[in-house]
Structure 1
Amino acid sequence: MADGARRIWVTRASPGAEATAARLAAMGFEPLIDPLLEVRDLSPAIDLGDVAALAFTSVNGVAAFARLHGDRTRRVFAVGDRTARAAREAGFTEIASADGDVEALAALILGQAEQLDGAILHPSALEPAGDLVSPLVAAGLSVRRLAVYEAVDRAPSPETLSALDGLEAVLLHSPRAARTLAGWLTRHPAPGLRALCLSGAVAEPLGTLVQAGRLKAVTSASHPTETALLDRLTL
């Protein structure tokens, strides 16, 4: 493949970045892995005494919780299939996937609330991208959020910044990564670069950059899954 041809910048944190890169390579693209976020585990005390179910909104949440606690008997609600698969690989057996976003996950939990005999624990990022707890509490459920990891901004490499003109697109999986990218593009415009975003919420921080000539286009996936995101590369 010629240098710079069909290159796609993968901005998500490891180890998810490597999984995305493998999918891109299988599609015939050349992935450039340079995360804009770095995930760091936290060390909170975990009490599952009154917990009937766990609600995960990310693979990172599953991984961090699994490293902190050995219990795998609780029921799991997962935001999407990748998160559900991560929970299964971690040893959980009773798993339901919302196959969507945080709102879809809240709806899934509410639809099965009568089956729950206890509280719901939401292991999450220190600064979660969406609010899962409020709609569940408003519906009368006992829910608490526990930060098990944090996402820290990470600067792109000088090599990535110098290669912006030769990249076909940048993939963004979170609003936090999009905000970080927006900051860098104010200093390093990329008028030929397409930003492909997992959802409208992810795309929001980038909207003004197109009008300012710092991005070529910003597009959201039709559904908040990575498959739908990668489908945008063929449009």
Structure 2
Amino acid sequence: MDRSAHAPLRLWVTRARPGAEATAARLTAMGHHPLVSPLLSVRRLKPRIDLSGVGAIAFTSRNGVAAFAALERALPVFTVGDATAGAAREAGFRHVRSASGDVTALAALITAQPVDGAVLIAGAREPAGDLPGALKAAGVQTRTAVLYAAVAAPGGRGLAALKAGKLDGVLIHSPRAARRLADLTEGLIPPVGAVPVFCISPAAAAPLKGSPAFAAAAADHPDEAALLSLLGKPRPPV
């Protein structure tokens, strides 16, 4: 479908807050109509973290940065993408390097840099990729700190709009959100036919492949700028 110029889209933003509001603001600025109705919510955990022998920290999301920033800001930081790197710098981390990609790119970045000590992987209870496994396979010493959990949220307003045929698309920011959407819509046939789903990566699109309810498209780079580029530019109002 050519999305170079089209009417504004009614889009369900499924990601957890507070990121959902930032996405909605970007969509509004583009001329679209976002509906924020998260399928996941972030619950902070309170792990006991021992930083002795740790030489660097790896973050795979901004949620990890926010949960960790109160504990330590002096250690070097590696991040999966540029948005997470920006959040780390804003939180006060001074030495930040971004992989500008996915978990595989992050593992390659860390492996290529000398780290004096273990790499502390600070993130979710159920991470999207196996960063510890990739680093251990490369001979990098690691530890893991589980800082938050992404738990299911109802997504009630979004589901209602979907069932009523009032959506032009759905935004998916993670494989976990895609699995949640697939579970909630099993057997659903929307009244307007297959609804476009714009996914941040092929991994995020995978759980929706084969569903008659959705037509999933994946961004060519795993960040929100590439995700939003799938939407195209709305025509200016007449």
Q: Identify whether the pair has TM-score above 0.5, normalized to the shorter chain.
A: yes
C-alpha distance in structure 2 between counterparts of 1:152 and 1:93, whole Å: 31
Equivalent position of 2:174 in the other structure? 174
C-alpha distance in structure 2 between counterparts of 1:221 and 1:194, whole Å: 13
C-alpha distance in structure 2 between counterparts of 1:50 and 1:201, whole Å: 34
More helix by share: 1
Are 1:39 and 2:38 an aligned pair? no
C-alpha distance in structure 2 between counterparts of 1:161 and 1:111, whole Å: 44
Are 1:155 and 2:158 an aligned pair? no
C-alpha distance in structure 2 between counterparts of 1:200 and 1:167, whole Å: 22
- Normalization by structure 2: what TM-score? 0.90
C-alpha distance in structure 2 between counterparts of 1:92 and 1:5, whole Å: 38
C-alpha distance in structure 2 between counterparts of 1:177 and 1:161, whole Å: 13
SS at match of 2:15: coil
CA contact (8 A) 2:123 2:147 kept: yes
The Cα of 1:123 is off from its aligned counterpart by 0.6
Unmatched runs of 5 consecutive residues or more in structure 1: none
- Normalization by structure 1: what TM-score? 0.91
Higher RCO, 1 vs 2 (CA within 8 Å, ≥6 residues apart): 2
The Cα of 1:226 is off from its aligned counterpart by 0.6
Equivalent position of 2:75 in the other structure? 74
CA contact (8 A) 2:36 2:158 kept: no
The Cα of 1:135 is off from its aligned counterpart by 1.4
Unmatched runs of 5 consecutive residues or more in structure 2: 1-6, 234-238
Q: CA RMSD in A?
A: 1.5
C-alpha distance in structure 2 between counterparts of 1:168 and 1:225, whole Å: 21
SS at match of 2:145: strand
The Cα of 1:5 is off from its aligned counterpart by 5.8
Equivalent position of 1:234 in the other structure? 232
Q: How many residues align?
A: 223
CA contact (8 A) 1:56 1:123 kept: yes
Task: Write the mapping of 1:68-147 to structure 2, written as runs, cut at 5 A.
Answer: 69=71, 71-112=72-113, 114=114, 116-147=115-146
* AA partner of residue 52 (structure 1): G
Mark the CA change 1:219 to 1:188 in structure 2 (over 3 Å): closer, same or farther.
Answer: same
Q: Deviations over 1:44-95 (max 9, x none)?
A: 011111111000000011111124x1x2110000101110011111110100
C-alpha distance in structure 1 between counterparts of 2:160 and 2:68, whole Å: 38
